[in-house]
């Protein structure tokens, strides 16, 4: 009898009660809530590390390019611009093309016909061919291809640094720019710009104090801007070049519908916007920037930067504009930029110049 009772009790105690199950589920939910942010942070740390490595590889490729050609690659190629004159021709390929052979992408480089513009049918295949080395893992949408007027286009997350502003402009300004071309070209203060031929010796600020490449996320743009910017082959500001006029990750509200400004006052190339031309990333708190010595540093969005007038064009309050020339076919005028006497660049802008003569402390960024 006693054995029978014990057997019945054993059978009755098998399994969990409803309350016990609910308690276990609640405990699991709490553990997931506690662990999920840590998992997400670990994933982002891995993505950021891969992004850093991409920029390191690009910096190494640029230095290998220097070893062969004695200068860093041009930001945007145009035969006349390369010779230091203005032709009125449209811009050609950008900085991401010539460094391909030094990133173990010789096959991709050899598929490009450098005698033809990148939008010609002979180059359609490479225009549509993406390269993961130019994609930040945190910029998820960058691997997607777009279609623009029949062109299938691959995109990029990294761009060359033109300095604290975009000069010289791409070559579609008309003959009015001919007399002003040299002053516009001389106004280029960064490492990567249209027609650039920057040697290591000319980087008098020091390669360890000068930006070379930076992040510019594709996925942060509006659908309209994703349609026509970040073309990985194009040698244009907003595609493969960006400036440091605005501190990293400016408000997305600074990205306006095209055209964003009155063409008589807009100084930005091809109706590009402040957000589009600035360094941006999906890494919390800042962006990865590759320096001219091949190193990569994380630059906080709060880095010292000059004050921006948050109306109209969102230009720095201490910037000057002279020798302006009107654009061609509705494009805006372009000017020689300067800084008001008695004022200075911010630390962020100073890091974008190759020969500005600024003294930058290592703890400034």
161-189: per-residue pLDDT in tens? 999 999 887 655 555 555 677 888 889 99
Q: Residue 6: pLDDT band by 50, 70, 90 thresholds? A: very low
Quick check: 9 pLDDT over 60? no
Domain annotation covers residue 13 = no
Domain annotation covers residue 159 = yes
Of the candidates 275, 241, 281, 282, the one whose C-alpha atom is nearest the C-alpha of residue 258 is: 275
Domain annotation covers residue 63 = yes
Domain that holds residue 86: 26-364
Mean pLDDT of 47-70: 96
Condensed to tens digits (0 to 9), the pLDDT of residues 208-232 reads 999 999 999 999 998 888 888 999 9
Q: Residue 4: pLDDT band by 50, 70, 90 thresholds? A: low
Q: Give the highest mean pLDDT range of 110-114, 155-159, 192-196, 221-225.
A: 155-159
Mean pLDDT of 93-112: 94
Quick check: 251 pLDDT over 50? yes
The Cα–Cα gap between 186 and 336 comes to: 9
Cβ atoms of 164 and 171 closer than 8 Å: no
The pLDDT, as a whole number, for residue 81 is 56
The angle at the Cα of 95, spanning 274 to 316, to the nearest 5 degrees, equals: 25
Quick check: 206 pLDDT over 50? yes
The Cα–Cα gap between 96 and 76 comes to: 10
% of residues, the chain, pLDDT over 70: 81
Predicted TM-score of the model (pTM)? 0.85
Quick check: 357 pLDDT over 70? yes
Domain annotation covers residue 59 = yes
Mean pLDDT of 44-48: 85
Condensed to tens digits (0 to 9), the pLDDT of residues 131-157 reads 999 999 999 999 999 888 888 999 999
Kind and range of the H or E run holding 349: helix 347-350
Write the DSSP symbol of residue 153. Answer: E
Quick check: 263 pLDDT over 50? no
Q: Residue 330: pLDDT band by 50, 70, 90 thresholds? A: low
CA distances for 331 relative to 71, 262, 266, 297, 320, angstroms: 31, 10, 9, 36, 20
Domain annotation covers residue 194 = yes
Cβ atoms of 74 and 195 closer than 8 Å: yes
Q: What are the tokens at 105?
A: 């992408």
Domain annotation covers residue 172 = yes
* Pairing between β-strand 319-325 and β-strand 334-339 as defined by DSSP bridges: antiparallel
Can you tell me which residue has the tokens 């990333």?
Answer: 281
Q: Is the peptide bond before 108 cis (omega within 30 degrees of 0)?
A: no
Please, what is the average pLDDT of the chain? 84
Domain annotation covers residue 6 = no
Quick check: 112 pLDDT over 70? yes
Helix/strand/coil percent split, the chain, to 5: 35, 15, 50
Q: Residue 355: pLDDT band by 50, 70, 90 thresholds? A: very high
Domain annotation covers residue 327 = yes
When divided into structural domains, the chain yields a total of 1
φ, ψ dihedrals at 62, nearest 5°: -65, -40
């Amino acid at each position: 009898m006693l054995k029978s009772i014990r057997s019945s009790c054993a059978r009755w105690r098998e399994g969990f009660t409803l309350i016990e199950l609910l308690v276990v589920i609640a405990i699991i939910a709490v553990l997931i809530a506690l662990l999920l942010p840590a998992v997400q942070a670990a994933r982002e740390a891995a993505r950021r590390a891969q992004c850093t490595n991409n920029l390191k590889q690009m910096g190494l490729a640029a230095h290998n390019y220097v070893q062969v050609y004695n200068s860093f690659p041009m930001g945007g190629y145009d035969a006349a611009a390369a010779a230091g004159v203005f032709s009125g021709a449209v811009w050609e390929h950008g900085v991401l093309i010539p460094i391909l052979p030094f990133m173990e992408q010789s096959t991709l480089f050899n598929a490009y016909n450098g005698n033809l513009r990148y939008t010609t049918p002979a180059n359609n295949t490479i225009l549509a061919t993406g390269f993961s080395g130019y994609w930040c893992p945190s910029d998820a949408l960058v691997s997607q291809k777009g279609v623009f007027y029949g062109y299938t286009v691959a995109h990029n997350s990294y761009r060359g640094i033109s300095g604290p502003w975009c000069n010289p402009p791409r070559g579609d300004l008309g003959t009015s720019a001919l007399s002003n071309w040299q002053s516009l070209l001389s106004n280029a203060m960064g490492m990567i710009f249209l027609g650039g031929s920057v040697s290591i010796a000319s980087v008098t600020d020091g390669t360890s104090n000068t930006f070379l490449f930076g992040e510019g996320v594709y996925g942060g743009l509006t659908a309209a801007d994703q349609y026509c910017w970040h073309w990985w082959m194009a040698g244009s500001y907003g595609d493969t070049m960006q400036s440091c006029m605005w501190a990293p990750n400016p408000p997305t509200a600074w990205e306006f519908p095209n055209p964003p400004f009155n063409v008589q006052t807009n100084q930005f190339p091809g109706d590009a916007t402040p957000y589009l031309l600035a360094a941006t990333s999906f890494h919390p708190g800042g962006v990865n920037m590759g320096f001219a010595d091949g190193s990569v540093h994380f630059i906080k969005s709060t880095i010292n930067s000059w004050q921006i007038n948050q109306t109209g064009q969102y230009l720095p309050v201490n910037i000057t504009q002279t020798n302006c020339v009107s654009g061609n076919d509705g494009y805006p005028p372009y000017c020689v930029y300067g800084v008001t006497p008695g004022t200075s660049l911010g630390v962020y802008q100073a890091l974008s110049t190759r020969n500005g003569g600024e003294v930058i402390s290592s703890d400034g960024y």
